[in-house]
Structure formats: C-alpha cells, structure tokens
Amino acid sequence: MTAPEPPAGAAGGPLGGTGPAAPRPPATGTTPTAGTTAPAAGGKAPSPGTTAPARHAGRTAGRTLALALLIFVTVVLVLFVVFNSQSVPISLVFGDVRAPLVLALVIAAALGGLLVGLAGLVLRARRSRRG
C-alpha cells in the first residue's frame, strides 16, 4: 500500500520554490535501477557506467600530461638555442651569409616541413581526382 502524497505546502511537499522538495518515486510506480543517474545540467544524460568524478580525473590527467609535455619541449628548445648560438657561414645560391646556427637549422626545418606539406597536398589532390 502506498502513502498518499502530502498537499502543497505541507511538510515534505513542494514549498512553491522556497525550499527543497522531498524526493518522490517516479509516477509509473517503478523505482530507479542501480547505477542510473539523472540528466546533467546540460540536459544530456551521462553514458552508462561513467561518473562525473571519473571523467574529471581523466581530463585532469590529460591536462597534466599536456602541460608536462609542453614544459619538456620548451626546455629542449631553449637548450637547442643556447647550444647552437655560434655564427656560421651559410652559402646561398646568390651569395654567402653569416647567421646563427640555430636560425639556419630552424629555417631548414621550416622549408622541409613546407615541402612535406606541399607533397601531401599534391598526393591528396591526385587521390581525389581518381576517386
């Protein structure tokens, strides 16, 4: 046998927005199953088997790993610049130039990346024409 619902404003009933309402069972008479959660504030229900703390911990670990990687790469680049600061002669097609070694290496790397990118575009264009 079920107890009747208390009238509005009574103890345990809805107070018209002035306080929390007492939890009520679903109208269909069924009870929620274990492991289910209510929809999040955005209106989307979380996927089964995942909880907010687990997702938050995963994001935190990912951000920590990304930050550690960023710091590592920054330190390596600073050391690269410090150890390659001596000036070297660079022979160009139209003349010779003296520049820091790190500048020559960075320009060579940028030009190599540009060539690889252009080759990728050419191959993608050929593939799209065939398909």
d(CA 86, CA 107): 16
SS3 content of the chain, % helix, strand, coil (to 5): 45, 10, 45
Q: How far is CA 119 from CA 4, 11, 39, 103, in A?
A: 75, 74, 48, 24
pLDDT tens for 34-83 read 555 555 555 555 555 555 566 677 778 888 999 999 999 999 988 988 88
d(CA 104, CA 96): 13
pLDDT tens for 78-98 read 898 888 889 999 888 889 999
Look at residue 85 in the predicted model and tell me its pLDDT.
Answer: 86
